[in-house]
Every structure is written in structure tokens, then in C-alpha cells.
Structure 1
């Protein structure tokens, strides 16, 4: 990747501290969301969490739902339904 190229949306390039800063949350919050199955960051060989732009978008959606008063179980269900809807739209013949 040259200095002017953006990473691919699913390319894990951000450490937990950078991802937390981009999403406006604490790193501990990202670890909690991972523990609850809301996020699944990539891992380096040394087990360092790495986040992609897609992960950051998902994290911002989680934060938005949380600020609206949705609990973590509700957020998980909403995200599952949104993911399923996205898959169905992509699989549909055009």
C-alpha cells in the first residue's frame, strides 16, 4: 500500500487504542463488546487486536444504539438482523 492509498474496508489496520479513539469510546469498551460477541477484530500472530474500517463502522453503530438506550442483548439482535438483511440483499438475483 502506498502512502496515498486507503486500506480496503475489511483490512485490519487499527490497533485497539486507535479504533477506540476513532469511535469515541475507551479500549475497555471494545474488549467488552468483543466479549459479548458484538465485534470480532482480527488478531496478529502476537494476539494484538486489529480493527478495520468495517469494524469501526460497526462500532459506531453499536455506540449509536447504546446511546439510544438499547441494551447489549438488543444491540446484538439488531446487528444480527441487519447483517442477515445485508446478506439477503447481496444474494438476491438482479
Structure 2
């Protein structure tokens, strides 16, 4: 049974839905497929696989890859760029949780 319109709309809004093939992701970012594969080897992004085994990337993963490209273009090594991005992501999540807890405590 095919997903209904509501299920399809949810996928459009889901940053983690693996909507982009490797070729399309590389085209959007202006990188080579090899660059995307290197981000997988460096453990920055782990694309999902289609039923045929092809890599599929989400919008969230494309944002991480774009940030990696930005840092690499500035002369930062790939491994260092990936570590920076992981730390930035962890900091953003910690700040989000801190904000959530602060709001919860203020309303209590």
C-alpha cells in the first residue's frame, strides 16, 4: 500500500529522511562522490542504503557535508574538519537541551 499524502508531507519536513542519492547530493553540494564517501570513512555521516544498496543522504547530512566542505576549502584537514563539526553539533544539542530545561524550570 502506498503512503498517503500525510505520510509524504511528513517526509518533506523530516530533516533525517534519506531523500538524496549520492549523485544528487554531490551535485547539490558541488563536491565529488568521493568526497561524500570520505566523510563516511571519517565517521561524520553514515548514509542510509536503499534496497538496492545505494547511498541515500538526508538534508541534515547534507548540511554537515556542506560545513565540512567549507572547512576543507579554508585549509582545514578532513579529519580535523569532521572533529570540529562533531563538536559543533554536540554543543548545539547541549545548548538546545539547556534552553529546554531552563524553560521547563521557569514554568514550574
TM superposition score normalised by structure 2: 0.77
Contact kept in structure 2, 1:13 and 1:51, CA below 8 Å: yes
4+ residue runs over 4 A deviation: none
Consecutive unaligned residues of structure 1, counting only runs of 5 or more, are none
Query: Considering only CA atoms, is the larger Rg found in Structure 1 or Structure 2?
Result: 2
Q: Is the 8 A contact 2:44 2:86 kept in 1?
A: no
Partner-residue secondary structure (3-state), 2:12: coil
CA RMSD, Structure 1 to Structure 2 (Å): 1.6
Number of residue pairs the alignment of both structures matches: 92
**Structure 2 gap ranges (5+):** 1-7, 104-108
Name the counterpart of 1:62.
68
The corresponding residue for 1:82 is 88
TM (normalized to structure 1)?
0.87
Say which is worse superposed, 8-17 or 40-49, in terms of deviation.
40-49
Q: Does the Cα contact within 8 Å between 1:7 and 1:13 map onto a contact in 2?
A: no
